[in-house]
């Protein structure tokens, strides 16, 4: 039997999960919050290991059993509000003494979102959401909206990392803003997967979930916009195509550019489930704008895509029919069938608590944590955060997944490519015996 290292020992998982509790915005950065940040980071690593190595997913089971999944949604909202309301006020005071402390809070949102993406793969997690599913739908809609905004402003048209000369002249505030954009991109990509799982398990969610998906946030048009924006594809500064896989950009040479990524496939299947769900479409009016936006996806369903995802052939037929029979296409009623509708609560409760305390009081409280840190506090915080971000543990699995991915790409492309220029190659490097080149 294979033996895998673990981020959390089996006997620690239960107390770790049981210790998760909701923190208010004013408590972010406190000792208790930092301890929970460590716990959630380790649980996220452990959940990733369990999922990628096909072990029993104990972290997911304990989160469901202890009713902690709604608290994960509380966590991402608390940091999101902190980023929009508190962080600008803190940066307006003066340049912080240690940016990694601020960045650890920003990263906390992406970390918890990653944990949510891992556990929401299972339908039992959809059932465990309860009424907090509405908050999660709202959160994903905002995250995907921010992702579309980033792409519209050319985020993927430039390099992720500015030239060293620009970094040297970058102020602390500019650095934090740049890091925040990177986190927004990662969260947006993860939320595409979360939404796909929510739509797949829609019958397990509250009745109001369908209303929020199509009438409040118009997810069919939102997903169509993402499919056209293609956040998983870009060119680097050398002009080489790259694809976003496993939270990093990978070079794509030749036919590899046409290979569908996991996120791209999930997004297509999400649109398929939305448009083929009769309950959803009864409340969805196909007006001129929606007809135009969704119909544009027909052009993206090319032969190469359908060869890899043949289950989308009915979707292309459906969209072609929609274009040809616009006048006769049944449209939803403008009145909702729900007399009483549940509303999301997490964000409003967090905002109400923070407003009662006052934003200025929160800033004064957190100034000593994030801005005016003393040397011994910086050292202590660095040790704690460094222990939580133990990436050495995951290196083995990351390398293993990367080797499998490269082998799969070689098999599917049918030819080896040059590690320098991307052309067809037959000569293997005599040193590493892995990379191929087209010439000496």
Judgement on whether residues 370 and 322 belong to the same structural domain of the protein: no
Quick one: 318 and 187 in the same domain?
Answer: no
Residue that terminates a domain, selected from 328, 354, 379: 328
Categorize the per-residue pLDDT at 17 as very low, low, confident or very high, splitting at 50, 70 and 90.
very high
* pLDDT(33) > 90: yes
Q: Which two tokens stand for residue 146?
A: 């921010």
How many domains is the chain partitioned into structurally?
2
Report whether pLDDT(292) > 80: yes
**Distance (Å, rounded) from C-alpha 193 to C-alpha 184?**
15
Query: Do 273 and 346 reside in the same domain of the chain?
Result: no
173 Cβ contact list (under 8 Å, min separation 6):
91, 95
Average pLDDT over residues 57-80: 96
In a domain, 189, yes or no: yes
* Rounded average pLDDT over 21-34: 93
pLDDT digits (tens, 9 = 90+) for 80-114: 999 999 999 998 888 776 777 888 899 999 999 99
The dihedral through the CA atoms of 412, 416, 420, 423 has a sign that is: negative
Task: Please check whether residues 309 and 390 belong to one and the same domain.
Answer: no
Indicate if 347 and 290 belong to the same structural domain: no
Q: Does residue 255 or residue 116 have the better pLDDT?
A: 116
Least confident of 27-41, 95-109, 195-209, 304-318: 95-109
Whether residues 313 and 390 share a domain: the answer is: no
Report pLDDT for 415.
42
Same domain, residue pair 181 and 96 = yes
256 and 201 in one domain?
no
Q: Are 347 and 22 in contact (CB under 8 A)?
A: no
| Boundaries of domain holding 273 | 215-328
Q: How far apart are CA 119 and CA 125, in angstroms?
A: 7
Helix or strand holding residue 144 (H, E): helix 132-152
Q: What is the mean pLDDT of residues 205-219?
A: 92
Mapping DSSP to helix (H, G, I), strand (E, B) and coil, where does residue 245 land? Answer: strand
Evaluate whether residue 186 is within a structural domain. yes
Residue 418 structure tokens = 């040059």
Q: What is the DSSP string of 306-323?
A: HHH-GGGHHHHHHHHHHH
pLDDT at 193 over 90: yes
194 lies in the same domain as 151: yes
Instruction: For residue range 401-425, list pLDDT tens digits in order.
Output: 444 344 444 343 344 556 555 555 6
pTM over 0.75: yes
User: Comparing C-alpha atoms, which of 299, 359, 347, 292 is closest to residue 323?
Assistant: 292
**Residue 185 in this model has a pLDDT that exceeds 80:** yes
pLDDT tens for each residue of 222-268? 999 999 999 999 988 788 899 999 888 999 988 889 999 999 999 99
């Amino acid at each position: 039997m294979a033996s895998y290292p673990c981020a959390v020992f089996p006997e620690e998982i239960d107390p770790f999960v049981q210790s998760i509790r909701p923190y208010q915005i004013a408590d972010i950065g406190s000792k208790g919050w930092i301890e929970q940040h460590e716990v959630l980071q380790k649980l996220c690593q452990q959940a990733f290991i369990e999922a990628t190595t096909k072990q029993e997913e104990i972290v997911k089971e304990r989160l469901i059993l202890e009713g902690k999944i709604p608290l994960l949604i509380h966590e991402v909202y608390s940091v999101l509000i902190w980023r929009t309301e508190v962080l600008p006020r803190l940066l307006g005071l003066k340049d912080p003494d240690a940016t990694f402390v601020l960045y650890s809070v920003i990263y906390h949102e992406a970390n918890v979102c990653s944990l949510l993406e891992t556990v929401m793969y299972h339908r039992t997690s959809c059932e465990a959401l309860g009424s907090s599913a509405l908050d999660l739908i709202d959160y994903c809609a905002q995250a995907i909206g921010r992702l579309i905004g980033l792409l519209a402003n050319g985020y993927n048209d430039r390099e992720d990392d500015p030239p060293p000369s620009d970094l040297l002249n970058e102020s602390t505030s500019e650095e934090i803003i740049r890091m925040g954009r990177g986190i927004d991109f990662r969260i947006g990509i993860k939320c595409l997967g979360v939404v796909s799982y929510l739509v797949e398990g829609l019958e397990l969610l509250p009745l109001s979930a369908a209303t929020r998906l199509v009438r409040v946030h118009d997810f069919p048009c939102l997903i169509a916009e993402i499919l056209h924006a293609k956040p998983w594809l870009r060119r680097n500064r050398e002009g080489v195509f790259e694809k976003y896989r496993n939270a990093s950009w990978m070079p794509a040479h030749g036919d590899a550019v046409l290979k569908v990524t996991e996120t791209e496939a999930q997004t297509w299947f999400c649109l398929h489930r939305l448009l083929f769900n009769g309950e959803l479409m009864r409340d969805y009016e196909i007006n001129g704008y929606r007809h135009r936006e969704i119909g544009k996806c027909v052009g993206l369903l090319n032969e190469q895509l359908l060869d890899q995802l043949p289950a989308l052939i009915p979707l292309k037929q459906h969209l072609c029919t929609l274009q040809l029979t616009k006048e006769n296409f049944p449209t939803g009623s403008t009145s909702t069938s729900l007399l009483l509708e549940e509303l999301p609560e997490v964000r409003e409760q967090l905002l109400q608590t923070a407003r009662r305390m006052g934003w200025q009081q929160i800033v004064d409280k957190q100034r000593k944590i994030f801005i005016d840190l003393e040397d011994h506090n910086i050292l202590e915080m660095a040790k704690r955060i460094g222990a939580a971000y133990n990436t050495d543990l995951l290196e083995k699995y990351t390398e293993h997944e990367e080797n499998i991915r490269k082998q799969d790409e070689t098999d599917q492309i049918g030819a080896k490519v040059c590690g320098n220029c991307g052309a067809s190659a037959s000569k293997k490097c005599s040193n590493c015996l892995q990379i191929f080149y087209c010439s000496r």
